Amino acid sequence: MKKKFFLLFFVMGIIIFCGCDKNISKISVISREEGSGTRGAFVDILDLRRKFGETIKDMTTKDSIIANKMDVVLVNVVSDKNAIGYVSFNAANSNVKPLKIDGISPTEENIKNNLYDIVRSFGIVLKNQNNDLINDFISYIFSKDGQIIVEEDYIPIEKNLSKYEEKDLRGKIYISGSSSVAPLIEKIVEKYLKVNKNIVVEMQISDSTSGILSVIDGSCDIALSSREINDEEKRSGLKKIDIAIDGLAIIVNNKNKVENITKENVKKIFSGEITDWNYFLNF
């Protein structure tokens, strides 16, 4: 009898061992921090919010590993064969694998043609539009020179490009906010200051929400945001001006055998409903 039981458990062990990929198992969810515009946009796109009474809650799994920058997300995914995260599509380098979503890859062409729909807009948020210095900087962003910079890595919003008319302005612009939008704005600021020697731009990088709050309390002129502003922020007199379209790539470790996933299953992973890669590998 003991031999029969031993044989039965041995056979069951072989079946389990052969049926599962021993290198890929429990999913490690990598999420951006609360307040991040990237997380806010991702949660909105995937419909990961739920209303509980008067409170709207972000349903990202509590087991997720929090990364406060896009680079940190990449590092986590590279170092963990079970990881999944989300970054700007142009940041998904050869060290990670962008998943196809419902059979569509996160490429610039697919985003432009509205085939890949996990997208968000990069923008600037401001309150005071009667400031000549701020308006001049905005005019540079949407000029031919500014939009050439946008087009290097992202999909521009503006179609009718005008020539930037340099003005004899002096002063300082304070910019704060999204670490995702910052690299783009830093490139634009660098070129802008070359033709405006008497203007100073100070930037403090954090997250979209922190930047927006700084505009509300008047401690900065422009917030960088990778999410939409909410109704309460609009009631505070804020306006968001979109400057570029960015796709969010869902990335996994290069050793992961999964290539394609549905948008609904991405939602289930990040809400904690699906927790094991073998859910996909066993189909």
Q: Are residues 221 and 263 in the same domain?
A: no
Domain region containing 144 = 121-246
Q: Are residues 242 and 155 in the same domain?
A: yes
SS3 call for 172: strand
Mean pLDDT of the chain: 89
pLDDT in tens, 92-104: 999 999 999 999 9
pLDDT of 129? 76
Measured distance CA(50)–CA(226) in Å, rounded: 21
SS3 call for 263: helix
pLDDT in tens, 225-246: 999 999 999 999 999 999 999 9
Assigned domain for 190 exists? yes
The amino acid at residue 98 is P
Q: Say which CATH number the domain at 68 has.
A: 3.40.190.10
Query: Would you place residue 108 in the very low, low, confident or very high pLDDT band (cuts 50, 70, 90)?
Result: very high
The amino acid at residue 211 is G
Q: Are 248 and 270 in contact (CB under 8 A)?
A: no
Query: Would you place residue 283 in the very low, low, confident or very high pLDDT band (cuts 50, 70, 90)?
Result: low
Candidates 168, 197, 185; CA nearest to 224 is 185
Higher pLDDT among residues 181 and 15, named by residue: 181
Report pTM: 0.81
Assigned domain for 2 exists? no
pLDDT of 159? 66
Domain total in the chain: 2
Candidates 69, 75, 80; CA nearest to 39 is 69
Q: Are residues 163 and 272 in the same domain?
A: no
Assigned domain for 230 exists? yes
pLDDT in tens, 6-41: 444 444 444 444 444 445 589 999 999 999 999 999
Q: Are residues 188 and 233 in the same domain?
A: yes
